[in-house]
Every structure is written in structure tokens, then in C-alpha cells.
């Protein structure tokens, strides 16, 4: 329903991305490569070789010559599918048991009998058998009933959120972060969100017994459309400990507050200051890369690959990693990773990070962690290739005048500058130490005669995962720890460029402290805006003291406000057309804005603009403080006073009368939002919080004392605190609700339960499955329902109902040692004659609904 609709809308986001060559057009797909009688000339086998690729990686020595053939053979095979069980799911144990005792054993038996099937198996290095791998073709899927049943199981559980499909090697970086439930975690380049989901799992799973974890995850991505994919992915987690932002990773805002409100002098915000600056305990930098480690699942890379792909990304990767380290707390851990095999994107980046940070950052030896994961040490020597020429050192790049090559790409990282330059400056304007300056020779030797550079850093502590070791993709991982504050980075001269012209140049030419002050500033394209920013930045650079920085910050805010006002005026004047506004991102709820159209033909008034926040096209994030609505919700559901309400509710609409959704945030997310308000909303937030309450817009809903219902996503969080509008149903009646969706009060098997349901107040209510324990906690199985005048109706999607029915049936079968007595459970047996004379009133009322139920939802 809602999830499916969002899933379909996401397909347009892939239109401009890399083509999926596994899927041929229909005109071509009819030809069978294995059919010798196929005479369709349009079909061509996928090219799985590239001479440049072979030459490049043979020379780099990422595998020994003896292994080369096995390495290349594995790269040409399709990648096995992998998936991970959500450790925080209510049915985690049930799903794992079904995989171990049903699907795995069934497929093993078929393999023993002579079949060509490869059984599913858990990944040996992933903790608690929560990650699995399967390897079968579409043809096998269509021909084997067990595989077909397994495939349907995967689709259902993935849609619900109990299972996440993810490449096996992609699961590795979060495991080395050593995340704990109280950690603030930054995922710098998070989309499409599989690692973010995994980080949230770890935080919630390790916080068992607590209301909500004290930590949180901030997931960021540069691309808005990919942010939408990230939101769609993480929605299945149902968490209040997540913020999704949309920034360049290398320019992520520092959010440092210089306002001292300890004496209560801050009159604009009565909320207590919790954190002065946004710093993180853990940072994951899974940076953009050439992606040649994903050749097995993206074979189009074979024909597109060239040796210069990594060179073009090298500097960006360094900037993102350095920004991540600057946002990391002292003592914190950062994981740098890529899905590339290129040392220029991997070891070269890590080496440059270590050089820039001096002794403040160290590589961590994690060889004792995940012992069953086969990994190889990082390289200490490599070459750079540019335009068909091998460059063992930067000295050779200078000889050949290769301007796109920088010293950090080479193992030593040394600059080779002309010592006759009195200022001792390198090409990019940086000061060069005398011991790092090497005079170039007059002649160029052949590659066999050139001396290779070898890094003196402990790069062997990095990890390389190669495909033929464990039948996976390729990956690179480096674990770094920040042991002290980063050293000051020397300012770069701007004289070679003439003047600063872009925001990235501004960041490069300010000191770290000044850059962090101006980092969060975003100004739209209005003439004179950039000049004003640069003028303020220059003043801040002249005097880097705290007072000067605060003054610069205030000045920038004033200038930005003037520009924003001008933009608003221009936009208002231009908004004369009565067309509907374009649809926004899933979490940018344009429908919530007070944008009801007036009859312009009669009034002549302009259409009211959607209320937006500081960031163009993004709805504001506001703390919900309408006491009338909050008190009505509290009174209607009897929410216990111990439930933390104050400051934890947010909305995306300033007009409380038109708010459709109210989101709940954890204490950690609340603190970050507080800080973001104090620093002028530097964070561009696209999604935040867990949807807790939703306005019931139906006619019957408007008659209810409380117009807000509890959402399915937020129910587990608030369930232990509800004292009204809550009932406990027997397994029979609970399954009836899931099967038939709507039941009249008189038709319940338990007449007492039906009477209690009739006595409820009109509106939303919660039905909890009555098990051995009576108290409703976060682990209890519960659904939201609507109490109408004569019936109780389920407010859960059809897919959720189906999955819950299957889980309950499987659990009851297990408890009864494999035997199930439908009559004792009050569940109608679909095998009996539906036209019989002995049907109950419930069966008469729902017989048609019964016929269309999926057979998988039967007892």
C-alpha cells in the first residue's frame, strides 16, 4: 500500500543513472544464448574483459601472478545474492529458524539427491547467523518449487523490513566501526541506505531493555534523488534515532554554537543547550569511487573502465575523508571504504590522510576482529597511470607535465619542486619542506629502470577483500582512530587563481575554524551574494579570534537574510500561474503546507506559497508545541506521564491546523535539532524522526474526540505507555482481524472482547495479541484499529497483515509440535466447504473476503 506506492515512485530516479545491462529490451530478450537455434543477431554476450583493466591490475600486483587466472575467472561470474535479517525485528528468531530448518535443509536435501542447486548458507563471518547468501539463476527459480517459495518469502520480508538485501562485502564496514548504543554516528555518503540501515540495527539491537537508544545516526548524501532512496530504505526500520541530510560530504556543516546560554541569557530559545558542536563518536566514509569492485553485479563497467577513473576521484575522496575526521571526536573511530580495487583511491588516500594529520590519526589493527572474514593487507607500493603512461613517482609526472596528477597519488607523497624557487612553493601553492623537495633528473627512464616508491606508513593494516577468496565482490577498508586534535592546516595562497570564485575555493583558502563558521551558509544565486560572503570571509581570516568569528557569523546572517527576503519577493511575484506545484520528496510533505487554493477568478488574489524552511524546496522542521492537540492525544489514549513528550514531537508545517503528521524524535536527535536552530539551521534536513501520529481525514474521523490516530510505525515505541483505547485479543480473534480486516462486534469469537470493543470511544484503538504475559511492551504483537459505530477495522496494510498471519501461524505450529488445530483457534479452514450450512455469523459476513485471501495466509 503506502510502501508499495513509494517503491514505484522511486523507479524514475534511476533513469539518469548507469544502464542495467542485465535487462535487455523485450525485442532482444527473446533470444536464448544457450539455444543454438537462436538466430537473433541483436543478442550479443556481455563483454567481460578489458585489456586496459588486465594490464593495470597486473602491474599493481593486487593479487599474485599465480592467482591471476582464478581472480579473473571469478570476476566474470555473476555475484551471489546476499541478505541480512533485521536483528531488531520482532520475528528475528522465527525468520532465522525458518532459514536454518526449512529452506537450507530442503535445498541441501535436493542437492544430495543429485540436483544442481546450491543451498543457501549463512555468511560465516557475520555474527549470529544474521547474514545469508544464495546463488541460483532465474531459470532455477522458475523450475524449483522450494526456490520459488523462498523467493516469495524474501520479497515479502524485505518489503516489511524484516530482511534487507545487501551485497555481502558491503556489510563489512559497519561491523568494524564498533558502534555502541550511545554513539553519535555519521554516514557521510549514505545513499542508497543499506549501511545506514545496518548501523541503526546495531544501535537498537545493542540497546535492549532501554526505551530508545541514547545514540543516533545522521545519514547524509549529496544527491537529492538518492536521499529519497535512502529515506525509502530506512523507513522500514521505524526508528526515531535518524536524521537524513542533503549536503556535499566534503563541506558538511560543522554546526558550532558560540552562544553562551548557561546564564539563561538566550531569550530566543528556552530549550536547554545540550551540545555546543556537532561531533560524532563514529564516522563512516564510504566515498564515491570508480566501482570496479562491483564488476560481478554491474558488468557494464567492463567496457567503460579506464585507468584514469580513479585519478579523477582521488582529491574528492581525500577532502571527504578529512572532513569526516574533523567531525570525529578525539578517541573516535572512522572507517574509510570503497568498492574499488584501485590503490590510487584506496591506500593513496589513506596515506595522504595520515600525512596531513601527523600523529593525530592512526590506523587500527583489526586483524583479530571477524576472524572468519578472509582479507588481505593493504599495498605499500603502487604506480599511477595517466594517458597510457606509467608514473612511478611525482617526479615523472612533472617531467611529462601531467597537471592532473598530484603528489598524494604516490606512495611517498613527496613534492618534486624546483629549488630555485625562493618561496619553496609547490604547484598548488602549498609550502614544501626542504627534505621533501627532490630535484628532477634531466632524462626519463623506461618503466623498468624507474625506481618504485614505497610508503613508509603502516598501510598493511588496511584491508583488501578480493572476489575469489570467498565468492564476493571486491572491497577496500581502512579503520582509523583519532587520538588527538587535528593539526592546523596551512592556508593556501589564492594568488595563482586571481580571486576566489566558488564556495569550494572559499573552503580551501580559509583556516579550518573560519571555514566551519561559514560552512553552513547557503545563499541562492543572487547578484552580489557571493561577493558579500567573500568580503566577510576575508575579514574573518584577518582576525581569527573568537569575537571576530562571531561578528562575521552575525554579518553573514544579516546579509543572507536580506538576500533571502529578495528571493522570496521575486518568487512571490513570479508565482502567478494556478498550476499545481510539482511533487516533492517523500518526506517533504507539500500536502501538509497551508496551500489551499482560493478562487483566483473571484478574488484576484495570488495563490498562497507553500511554507518552506530556510532551504529551498524543503519543508521546515519545527518542534510541535500545540498544547491543545498534544493534551487531546494524551487524554484520549491515556498516555502515561512518564512518556517523554515535551520537545520530542516535530512537524513539517508551521500551521498547526493543517498538520497531517506528527513525528517523534529521540533525545539525541532532539539535541541535534536544538543545535541546528541555534546555528541558523545549517543542516538541510530532508527526513527526521518516526511518524507517531497521523490525522484521520475521513468523515467518521472528524467526529472522533481525537482526530489523530497512532501510526503503525510509531506504535511499538508508545505502546507500553498507553492506558486507554487498548484491548487484549485472543489468538483466534486477533487472526480474524488480520484475515477479514473488518469485524462486527457481535461476530467476535470471544463475546466479552466484542463487548469491550463496542464500549470503546469512537476513534483509533490498539489491539494487542493476548499471550502468556498480559503487560504490553515494545515486544508485544499489536496492531492499530479503528473503532466505528458497529465494527472494528484494521488500520494495517494488506502486506503487513499477510506477513503477520504467516508468522503467527508458524509460531503456533511450532508451539504445538507441528500440529495445528484450526477449530481450537477459531480459524476457518479454507479446505472445508464454504457453502456449508454450519457457517458461523462471522464466516457468513466475511466469506467473500475469505475467498480472495492468499493461500500463504491460511492456517
Query: CATH number of the domain that 217 lies in?
Result: 3.40.50.150
Rounded distance, CA 655 to CA 407, Å? 55
Rounded distance, CA 220 to CA 255, Å? 15
Q: Within a domain: residue 148?
A: yes
Does residue 99 sit in the same domain as residue 243? no
Q: Within a domain: residue 53?
A: no
pTM of the entire predicted model: 0.76
For residue 856, give the DSSP letter: G
pLDDT at 382: 95
What pairing do the DSSP bridges indicate for beta strands 121-122 and 131-134? antiparallel
Does residue 229 sit in the same domain as residue 282? yes
pLDDT at 210: 65
pLDDT at 411: 94
Residues with Cβ within 8 Å of residue 538, at least 6 apart in sequence: none
Does residue 143 sit in the same domain as residue 227? no
Largest CA distance in the chain: 105
**Residue bearing cell 583511491:** 345
Considering 813, 829, 845, which residue would you say is the last residue of a domain? 813
Does residue 371 sit in the same domain as residue 478? yes
Cell numbers placing 56: 593495470
pLDDT at 613: 59
Q: Within a domain: residue 331?
A: yes
How many Å separate Cα 235 from the centre of its chain? 10
Sign of CA dihedral 584, 585, 586, 589: negative
Cell numbers placing 493: 595562497
Does residue 147 sit in the same domain as residue 188? no
pLDDT at 341: 97
Considering 469, 486, 503, which residue would you say is the last residue of a domain? 486
Residue 106, SS3 per DSSP: helix
> At 432, is the pLDDT very low, low, confident or very high (cuts 50, 70, 90)?
very low
Is the pLDDT assigned to residue 273 strictly greater than 60? no
Mean pLDDT of 833-848: 40
Q: Within a domain: residue 177?
A: yes
Mean pLDDT of 754-768: 94
Is the pLDDT assigned to residue 563 strictly greater than 50? no
Annotated binding-site residues read 189-195, 221, 286
Does residue 136 sit in the same domain as residue 199? no
What pairing do the DSSP bridges indicate for beta strands 726-729 and 742-744? unpaired
Mean pLDDT of 120-130: 94
Q: Which of 122-136, 447-461, 475-489 has the lowest mean pLDDT?
A: 447-461
Residue 693, SS3 per DSSP: strand
Q: Within a domain: residue 648?
A: no
Is the pLDDT assigned to residue 119 strictly greater than 60? yes
> At 256, is the pLDDT very low, low, confident or very high (cuts 50, 70, 90)?
confident
Most confident of 270-284, 380-394, 570-584: 380-394
Q: Catalytic residue at 92?
A: no
More confident residue, 628 or 430: 628
pLDDT at 424: 44
pLDDT at 531: 38
Sign of CA dihedral 664, 670, 676, 679: positive
Is the pLDDT assigned to residue 200 strictly greater than 70? yes
Rounded distance, CA 321 to CA 334, Å? 9
Neighbours of 419 (CB within 10 A): 11
Does residue 291 sit in the same domain as residue 375? yes
More confident residue, 612 or 516: 612
Does residue 129 sit in the same domain as residue 247? no
Residue 692, SS3 per DSSP: strand
Closest to 677 measured CA to CA, from 275, 376, 244: 275
pLDDT at 786: 93
Is the pLDDT assigned to residue 186 strictly greater than 70? yes
Contact between 321 and 353 (Cβ < 8 Å): yes
Using alpha carbons, list the distances in angstroms from residue 76 to 73, 80, 301, 475, 694: 5, 12, 12, 16, 50
Q: Within a domain: residue 345?
A: yes
Cell numbers placing 786: 479503528
| Exposed e or buried b per residue across 223-252, where buried means at least 16 C-beta atoms within 10 angstroms of its C-beta | ebbbbbbbbbbbbbbbbbbbbbbbbbbbbb
Using alpha carbons, list the distances in angstroms from residue 553 to 53, 67, 502, 504: 50, 58, 19, 18
Catalytic entry in 339, 462, 764, 785:
339
More confident residue, 172 or 30: 172
Residues 779-830 pLDDT 10s:
789 999 999 999 999 999 888 898 888 888 877 776 665 433 333 333 333 3
Is the pLDDT assigned to residue 24 strictly greater than 60? no
Does residue 177 sit in the same domain as residue 325? yes
Task: State the total domains in the chain.
Answer: 3
Terminal C-alpha separation, the chain: 24
> At 329, is the pLDDT very low, low, confident or very high (cuts 50, 70, 90)?
very high
Range of the domain at 463: 166-205+212-255+275-381+459-486
Contact between 185 and 280 (Cβ < 8 Å): yes
Q: Within a domain: residue 625?
A: no
pLDDT at 332: 97
Q: Within a domain: residue 497?
A: no
Does residue 144 sit in the same domain as residue 174? no
Does residue 244 sit in the same domain as residue 296? yes
pLDDT at 274: 67
Annotated binding-site residues for S-adenosyl-L-methionine read 189-195, 221, 286
- How many CA atoms lie within 13 Å of 410's alpha carbon, on the beta-carbon side? 23
Q: Which of 87-101, 318-332, 393-407, 447-461 has the lowest mean pLDDT?
A: 447-461
Does residue 157 sit in the same domain as residue 176? no
pLDDT at 286: 96
> At 616, is the pLDDT very low, low, confident or very high (cuts 50, 70, 90)?
confident
Amino acid at each position: 500500500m503506502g510502501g508499495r506506492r513509494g517503491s514505484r515512485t522511486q523507479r524514475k530516479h534511476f533513469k539518469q543513472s548507469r544502464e542495467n545491462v542485465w535487462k535487455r529490451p523485450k525485442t532482444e530478450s527473446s533470444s536464448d544464448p544457450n539455444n543454438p537455434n537462436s538466430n537473433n543477431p541483436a543478442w550479443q554476450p556481455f563483454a567481460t574483459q578489458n585489456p586496459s583493466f588486465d594490464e593495470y591490475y597486473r602491474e599493481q600486483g593486487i593479487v599474485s601472478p599465480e592467482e591471476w587466472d582464478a581472480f579473473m575467472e571469478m570476476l566474470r561470474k555473476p555475484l551471489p545474492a546476499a541478505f541480512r535479517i533485521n536483528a531488531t525485528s520482532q520475528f528475528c528468531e522465527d525468520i532465522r529458524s525458518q532459514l536454518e530448518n526449512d529452506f537450507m535443509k530442503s535445498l541441501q536435501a535436493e542437492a544430495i539427491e543429485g540436483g544442481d542447486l546450491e543451498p543457501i548458507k549463512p555468511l560465516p563471518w557475520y555474527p549470529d547467523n544474521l547474514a545469508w547468501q544464495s546463488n541460483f539463476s532465474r531459470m532455477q527459480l522458475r523450475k524449483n518449487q522450494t526456490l520459488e517459495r523462498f523467493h516469495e518469502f524474501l520479497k515479502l520480508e524485505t518489503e516489511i523490513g524484516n530482511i534487507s538485501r545487501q551485497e555481502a562485502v558491503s556489510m563489512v564496514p559497519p561491523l568494524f566501526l564498533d558502534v555502541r548504543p550511545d554513539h553519535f554516528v555519521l554516514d557521510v555518503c549514505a545513499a542508497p541506505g543499506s549501511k545506514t540501515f545496518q548501523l541503526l540495527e546495531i544501535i537498537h539491537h545493542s540497546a535492549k531493555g532501554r526505551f530508545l537508544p541514547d545514540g543516533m545516526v545522521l545519514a547524509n548524501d549529496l544527491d537529492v534523488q538518492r536521499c529519497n532512496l535512502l529515506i525509502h530504505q530506512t523507513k522500514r526500520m521505524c526508528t526515531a534515532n535518524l536524521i537524513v541530510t542533503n549536503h556535499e560530504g566534503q563541506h558538511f556543516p560543522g554546526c558550532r554554537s558560540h552562544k553562551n546560554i548557561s546564564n539563561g541569557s538566550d531569550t530566543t530559545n528556552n530549550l536547554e543547550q545540550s551540545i555546543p558542536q556537532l561531533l560524532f563518536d563514529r564516522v563512516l566514509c564510504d566515498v564515491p569511487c570508480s566501482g570496479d569492485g562491483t564488476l560481478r553485479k554491474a558488468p557494464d563497467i567492463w567496457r567503460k573502465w579506464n585507468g584514469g577513473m580513479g585519478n579523477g576521484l582521488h582529491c574528492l575522496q581525500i577532502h571527504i575523508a578529512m572532513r569526516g575526521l574533523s567531525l570525529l571526536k578525539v578517541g573516535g573511530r572512522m572507517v574509510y571504504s570503497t568498492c574499488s580495487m584501485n590503490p590510487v583511491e584506496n591506500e593513496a588516500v589513506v596515506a595522504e590522510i595520515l600525512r596531513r594529520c601527523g600523529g593525530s590519526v592512526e590506523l587500527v589493527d583489526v586483524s583479530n576482529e571477524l576472524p572468519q572474514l578472509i582479507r588481505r593487507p593493504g599495498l605499500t607500493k603502487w604506480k599511477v597511470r595517466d594517458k597510457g603512461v606509467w608514473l612511478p613517482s611525482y617526479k615523472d609526472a612533472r617531467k611529462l607535465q601531467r597537471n592532473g596528477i598530484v603528489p598524494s597519488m604516490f606512495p611517498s607523497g613527496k613534492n618534486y619542486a624546483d629549488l630555485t624557487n625562493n618561496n619553496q612553493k609547490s604547484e598548488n601553492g602549498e609550502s614544501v619542506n626542504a627534505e621533501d623537495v627532490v630535484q628532477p633528473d634531466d632524462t626519463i627512464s623506461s618503466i623498468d629502470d624507474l625506481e618504485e616508491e614505497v610508503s613508509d606508513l603502516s598501510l598493511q593494516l588496511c584491508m583488501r577483500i578480493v572476489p575469489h577468496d570467498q565468492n564476493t565482490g571486491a572491497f577496500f577498508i581502512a579503520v582509523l582512530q583519532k587520538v588527538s586534535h587535528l593539526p592546523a592546516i596551512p592556508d593556501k595562497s589564492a594568488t595563482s587563481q586571481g580571486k576566489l570564485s566558488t564556495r569550494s575555493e572559499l573552503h580551501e583558502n580559509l583556516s579550518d575554524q573560519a571555514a566551519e563558521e561559514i560552512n553552513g551558509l547557503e545563499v541562492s544565486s543572487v547578484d552580489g551574494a557571493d561577493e558579500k560572503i567573500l568580503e566577510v570571509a576575508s575579514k574573518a581570516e584577518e582576525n581569527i579570534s573568537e569575537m571576530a568569528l562571531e561578528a562575521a557569523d552575525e554579518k553573514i546572517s544579516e546579509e543572507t537574510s536580506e538576500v533571502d527576503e529578495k528571493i522570496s519577493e521575486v518568487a512571490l511575484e513570479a508565482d502567478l500561474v494556478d498550476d499545481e506545484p510539482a511533487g516533492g520528496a517523500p518526506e517533504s510533505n507539500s500536502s501538509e503546507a497551508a496551500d489551499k487554493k482560493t478562487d483566483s477568478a473571484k478574488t484576484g488574489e495570488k495563490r498562497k506559497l507553500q511554507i518552506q524552511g530556510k532551504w529551498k524546496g524543503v519543508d521546515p522542521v519545527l518542534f510541535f508545541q500545540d498544547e491543545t492537540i498534544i493534551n487531546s492525544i494524551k487524554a484520549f489514549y491515556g498516555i502515561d506521564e512518564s512518556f517523554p513528550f515535551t520537545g520530542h514531537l516535530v512537524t513539517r508545517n508551521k500551521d498547526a491546523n493543517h498538520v497531517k503528521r506528527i513525528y517523534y524524535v529521540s533525545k539525541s536527535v532532539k539535541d541535534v535539532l536544538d543545535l541546528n536552530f541555534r546555528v541558523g539551521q545549517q543542516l538541510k534536513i530532508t527526513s527526521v524522526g518516526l511518524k507517531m501520529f497521523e490525522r484521520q481525514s475521513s468523515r467518521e474521523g472528524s467526529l472522533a474526540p481525537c482526530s489523530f490516530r497512532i501510526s503503525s510505525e510509531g506504535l511499538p515505541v508508545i505502546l507500553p505507555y498507553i492506558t486507554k483505547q487498548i484491548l487484549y485479543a485472543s489468538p483466534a480473534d486477533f487472526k480474524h482481524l488480520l484475515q477479514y480486516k473488518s469485524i462486527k462486534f457481535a461476530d467476535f469469537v470471544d463475546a466479552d472482547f466484542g463487548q469491550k470493543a463496542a464500549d470503546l470511544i469512537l476513534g483509533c484503538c490498539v489491539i494487542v495479541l493476548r499471550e502468556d504475559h498480559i503487560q504490553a511492551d515494545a515486544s508485544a504483537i499489536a496492531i492499530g484499529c479503528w473503532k466505528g459505530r458497529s465494527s472494528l477495522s484494521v488500520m494495517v496494510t494488506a502486506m503487513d497483515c499477510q506477513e503477520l498471519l504467516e508468522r503467527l501461524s508458524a509460531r503456533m505450529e511450532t508451539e504445538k509440535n507441528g500440529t495445528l488445530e484450526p477449530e481450537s483457534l477459531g480459524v476457518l479452514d479454507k479446505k472445508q466447504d464454504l457453502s456449508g450450512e454450519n457457517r458461523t455469523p462471522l464466516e457468513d459476513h466475511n466469506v467473500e473476503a475469505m475467498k480472495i485471501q492468499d493461500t500463504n495466509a491460511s492456517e
